[in-house]
């Protein structure tokens, strides 16, 4: 590719928007998303994911360095396409590549000789060559590695984490040829202060991304299984972990709800590919069943505590769930396991309220049929409080000690509250 990069970022979610904004300081960038509402918000400087500030969005759009559009024609002048679309699971936990396929097809209408297509979406090893490249060739009429090239640079965004920005995280890069790898590296080096790490093939980069989250999933599942065991032994899990943590090589993982768009999804991608090549994985998915049951476990602890306190009469007892996102200080509700707590409590006949000041209440209502209450509802008393997601705003707003003094059973899922304030924790 001889021309200076003119970049199109396809997909403007948690990954694509920060990337497009950063790249626009060095290159002309068009941010494309097929959601007109999302585009309208961005044009006004509003990012509902809270990854990019209003000031950053407005500044990036000055002098037409960054354009936002839901019109496919807007990316026609690009010679570099970066795909940052979701790669979720189907209802049967198989890879859902529909967004990836649609993005690849979209690009083919604009792909020209010398073009470069870089994928950031998390996939299984081999997916780029097996799924994406054939689409690009078929619909563009161009020849792979002769007329156009591909690259892979897996996203490593940590939503809601202000301490680990895009620029501060080392970026893996790979290309379909050595020259393509260099092209990809040059683009990312302009925005990644931590530097880039070149690997020998796209398949290696795909595998590295998949195992990052699979490893974390397995480690958390071990902590969750310990929490289930120690609960039966009447041992405080957090105290055990603090004690074990005094050894230099003990890994500081903690039990919790494992949701979101990566950790609970990526192991299935890796296992899918393993099965496809005739290998039956034994460890990759070993923790999924444990992690999937933790929301129900928390709810059952609340039910048991209220039943004990009220001689089995828990009908219409009130519970407040504090936090609904999949992780703290992040408005993302994708694959949140808090819904398991809610539905289990609700099915038991309890009156359940949910408070989360940073999620999109309308989206939660549409996606989960759950009403998010406002601050004015917090003044009432509750029979139980579940701190499910410790957003900083929740910790500053809710007086858990006051609720406890009023008779509420306090359960702390993440173990962040003082021990004297709570009645139970994972």
Active-site annotation holder among 127, 132, 262, 330: 262
Asked whether the beta carbons of 207 and 125 are under 8 A apart, the reply is yes
Q: Any idea what DSSP says for residue 165?
A: -
Three-state SS for 418?
Answer: coil
The residues near 96 (Cβ < 8 Å, ≥ 6 apart) are: 87, 88, 89, 90
Tell me how far the alpha carbon of residue 337 is from its chain's centroid. Answer: 13
Helices (H), 29-170: 36-43, 54-61, 98-108, 127, 133-140
Q: Any idea what DSSP says for residue 419?
A: T
Q: How far apart are CA 101 and CA 307, in angstroms?
A: 51
Q: How far apart are CA 103 and CA 152, in angstroms?
A: 15
- Positive or negative, the Cα torsion across 281, 286, 291, 294? positive
Name 175's bridge partners: 151
Three-state SS for 352?
Answer: strand
Q: How far apart are CA 46 and CA 100, in angstroms?
A: 26
Q: How far apart are CA 42 and CA 312, in angstroms?
A: 51
Name 385's bridge partners: 320, 410
- Tokens representing residue 242 in the block: 């603090």
Q: How far apart are CA 315 and CA 318, in angstroms?
A: 9
Whether 110 is catalytic is: no
Asked whether the beta carbons of 165 and 198 are under 8 A apart, the reply is no
CB-count exposure of residue 183 (10 Å: 0-12, 13-18, 19+): buried
List, by residue number, the catalytic residues. 262
């Amino acid at each position: 590719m001889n021309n200076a990069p003119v970049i199109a970022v396809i997909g403007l979610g948690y990954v694509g928007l920060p990337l497009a904004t950063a790249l626009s300081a060095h290159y002309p960038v068009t941010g494309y998303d097929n959601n007109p509402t999302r585009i309208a918000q961005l044009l006004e400087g509003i990012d509902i994911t809270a990854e990019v500030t209003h000031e950053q969005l407005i500044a990036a759009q000055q002098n037409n360095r960054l354009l936002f559009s839901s019109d496919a024609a807007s990316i026609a002048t690009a010679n570099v396409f970066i795909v940052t679309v979701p790669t979720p699971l189907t209802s049967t936990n198989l890879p859902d590549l529909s967004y990836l396929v649609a993005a690849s097809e979209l690009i083919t209408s604009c792909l020209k000789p010398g073009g470069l297509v870089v994928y950031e979406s998390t996939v299984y090893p081999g997916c780029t060559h097996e799924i994406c490249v054939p689409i690009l060739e078929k619909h563009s009429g161009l020849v792979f590695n002769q007329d156009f090239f591909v690259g892979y640079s897996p996203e490593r965004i940590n939503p809601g984490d202000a301490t680990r920005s895009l620029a501060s995280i080392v970026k893996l890069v790979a290309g379909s040829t050595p020259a393509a790898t260099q092209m990809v590296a040059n683009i990312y080096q302009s925005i990644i202060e931590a530097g880039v790490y070149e690997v020998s093939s796209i398949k290696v980069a795909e595998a590295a991304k998949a195992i990052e989250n699979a490893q974390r999933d397995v480690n958390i599942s071990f902590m969750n299984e310990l929490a289930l065991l120690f609960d039966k032994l009447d041992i405080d899990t957090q105290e055990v972990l603090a004690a074990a943590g005094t050894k230099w090589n003990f890994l500081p993982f903690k039990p919790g709800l494992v949701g979101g768009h990566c950790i609970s999804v990526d192991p299935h991608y890796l296992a899918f590919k393993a099965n496809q090549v005739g290998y039956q994985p034994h460890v990759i998915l070993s923790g999924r069943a444990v992690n999937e049951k933790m929301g129900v476990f928390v709810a059952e602890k609340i039910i048991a505590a209220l039943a004990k306190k009220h001689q089995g009469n828990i009908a219409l007892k009130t519970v407040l769930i504090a936090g609904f996102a999949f992780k703290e200080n992040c408005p993302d509700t994708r694959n949140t396991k808090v819904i398991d707590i809610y539905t289990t409590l609700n099915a038991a006949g309890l009156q359940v309220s949910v408070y989360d000041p940073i999620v999109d209440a309308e989206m939660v209502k549409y996606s989960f049929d759950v009403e998010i209450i406002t601050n004015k509802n917090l003044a009432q008393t509750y029979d139980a409080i579940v701190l499910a997601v410790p957003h900083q705003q929740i910790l500053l707003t809710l007086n858990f000690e006051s609720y406890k003094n009023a008779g509420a059973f306090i359960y702390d899922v993440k173990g962040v509250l003082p021990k004297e304030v709570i009645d139970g924790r994972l």
